[in-house]
Structure 1
Amino acid sequence: MYLALKDLGSLFDSRGIQDDLSFASVSDQANEAQPKGLFISFNGTDGELSEAISNGAIAAIWNINYDLPKYTPNQFPVFFTNDPAAAIVTILKRYIEKLNGETDKIMEITNFKFSNKKLLNKNNETYDIAVMLNEITSKNKPEGRE
């Protein structure tokens, strides 16, 4: 089960289309392939969003303290936050809630990939989706069953 655009709609102020899109990846790395990706910008540098879009990003989380580049397409979904690190934690929690109760052993999941070391040290959350899924399934197992 993929993270969807509508999952973010109630969490952030946004602009652009609010269609029924799903994200195969969530990343802060503009320079890496992210097909059907949600790009999270930490530094709002010029060209960063353009590079993410050219590498497959279909939406972005953008720090409201930085100007959105003028080249950003009007229909491109952008969600605004004043703290991208906190936004990631919020997104992860929403995604865990969405997956809670899923019992399919084989399912397509959103790939979360972050390189910002400051972010990893700031939050006590795990970003390994396999660990998160294991925690969810172990919470939902009846006592005495493996």
Structure 2
Amino acid sequence: MYLALNDLASLFPDKQGIQDEMVFHTVTDQATTNQPKGLFLSINEESGELSDAIANGAIAAIWDHQKKLPRYTPTYFPVFFTKDVAWSVKKIITLYKEKLDGETNKRMEITNFILLNKKLLNKNNQTYDIAGILEKLENKRSNDTERRG
């Protein structure tokens, strides 16, 4: 199950660009990372340029509302504005974890989170490794199944 544009619309009311049905295969804070159907998180200068993110497959972005959006940004390109991009990462992963909770398809396709910015670790004092989140969900499901039968 992929993170969807509609999921973000519920978290970020301040937005621009098309709000069509689309899903994200990748979420990353690095513009130079290959990000097919990607959601780019512009956390700080280390994240890179939006143009690089688009060239590498980004189809939407989370953007600091105080930072000027580049003039070359396509008008149809979905951009969600926030006061704190690093804090928004936590909101996105929490929402995605809730979306996956209870999912029973073991071979489902999931959104790949590639978060390399040190600010995320320093600000939140924990890592947001989606594989770790999924492992916790899988253990929870296993424990629930064992109790039932």
Q: What is the TM-score normalised by the length of structure 2?
A: 0.90
Q: After TM superposition, give the deviation of residue 43 of structure 1 in Å.
A: 2.4
The DSSP-based 3-state class of the residue aligned with 1:142 is helix
The DSSP-based 3-state class of the residue aligned with 1:26 is strand
Give 1:101's aligned amino acid. Answer: G
Q: After TM superposition, give the deviation of residue 142 of structure 1 in Å.
A: 3.2
The answer to whether the aligner puts 1:8 opposite 2:5 as a matched pair is: no
Over residues 66-108 of structure 1, what are the superposed CA-to-partner deviations in whole Å (9 max), with x where a residue is unaligned? 0011110000000001111110000000101110110111111
Runs of 4+ in 1 over 6 A off after TM superposition: none
Give 1:88's aligned amino acid. Answer: V
**Uncovered stretches (5+) of structure 1, i.e. residues with no partner:** none
The CA distance in 2 between the partners of 1:79 and 1:33, in whole Å, is 21
The DSSP-based 3-state class of the residue aligned with 2:145 is coil
The DSSP-based 3-state class of the residue aligned with 2:11 is coil
Instruction: Give the conservation status (yes or no) of the 8 Å contact 1:89–1:125.
Output: no
The answer to whether the aligner puts 1:22 opposite 2:23 as a matched pair is: yes
Give the superposed CA RMSD: 1.9
Q: How does 1:83-122 map to 2 (within 5 A)?
A: 83-122=84-123
Give 1:61's aligned amino acid. Answer: I
Structure (1 or 2) with the greater helix fraction: 2
The answer to whether the aligner puts 1:62 opposite 2:63 as a matched pair is: yes
Q: What is the TM-score normalised by the length of structure 1?
A: 0.91
The DSSP-based 3-state class of the residue aligned with 2:71 is coil
The CA distance in 2 between the partners of 1:48 and 1:38, in whole Å, is 13
Instruction: Give the conservation status (yes or no) of the 8 Å contact 1:60–1:79.
Output: yes
Q: After TM superposition, give the deviation of residue 121 of structure 1 in Å.
A: 2.5
The answer to whether the aligner puts 1:137 opposite 2:138 as a matched pair is: yes
Instruction: Give the conservation status (yes or no) of the 8 Å contact 1:101–1:137.
Output: no
The CA distance in 1 between the partners of 2:126 and 2:116, in whole Å, is 15
The DSSP-based 3-state class of the residue aligned with 2:62 is strand
2:36 maps to: 35
**Uncovered stretches (5+) of structure 2, i.e. residues with no partner:** none
The CA distance in 2 between the partners of 1:75 and 1:44, in whole Å, is 24
Q: After TM superposition, give the deviation of residue 44 of structure 1 in Å.
A: 6.0
The DSSP-based 3-state class of the residue aligned with 1:94 is helix
Q: Which moved more, 1:128-137 or 1:100-109?
A: 128-137
Taking every aligned residue pair, what percent have the same amino acid on both sides?
A: 61
